[in-house]
Amino acid sequence: MHKAGLIAILFLSGCAGHGVRPLRPLEIATAPYQQVATTALTGSLMYEGGCLLFREQTSGAILMPVWPAGSSFNGNFVNFHEPAKADQRVVLTEAFQMSGQPVGWTTLGGPPYVPFHHQCDYPPFFVSYVRPAN
């Protein structure tokens, strides 16, 4: 019994020592709006392992979208917030096109993104614009 308690304490202190908290349910990565779009990708969103991810249609590559601040996710769709525009819904599993730019984890940096990097270790992509796939 004593060993089990010691192991639990060591496990919990190890988690606390790394300072990485698990993502809250339906939490998405957001950042200030980035107007520059260098890449357009067509695919769909999926929610796997507590992470909202984008699967590119042609290559099957998986990315972690970083949405403009003010965007939200309710489990069925992303409410995409583009400043000075009406919010748009992007429905989970439906094809759409997102435009923006790839970004490295080192560029994102900072405490708000550590849980995403830890739990959703796919290349991040700043989303600037969305539109239907057709």
Q: What is the CATH number of the domain that holds 58?
A: 2.40.50
Query: Could you tell me if residue 101 is inside a domain?
Result: yes
Query: Could you tell me if residue 32 is inside a domain?
Result: yes
Query: Could you tell me if residue 29 is inside a domain?
Result: yes
pLDDT reading at 118 higher than 50: yes
Query: Could you tell me if residue 16 is inside a domain?
Result: no
Average pLDDT over residues 21-37: 94
Query: Could you tell me if residue 56 is inside a domain?
Result: yes
Query: Could you tell me if residue 106 is inside a domain?
Result: yes
What's the structural domain count of the chain?
1
Query: Could you tell me if residue 4 is inside a domain?
Result: no
36-72 pLDDT, tens digit each: 999 999 999 999 999 999 999 999 999 999 999 999 9
Domain around 117: 23-132
Q: 10 Å Cβ neighbour count for 85?
A: 9
Average pLDDT over residues 20-30: 92
pLDDT reading at 132 higher than 90: yes
The model's pTM: 0.84
Query: Could you tell me if residue 12 is inside a domain?
Result: no
Mark residue 50 as left, alpha or beta (left: phi above 0; alpha: psi -120 to 50; beta: remaining).
Answer: left
SS3 of residue 105 by DSSP: helix
Question: What is the structure's pLDDT at 11?
Answer: 38
Question: What is the structure's pLDDT at 59?
Answer: 97
The answer to whether the Cα torsion of 51, 73, 133, 66 is positive or negative is: negative
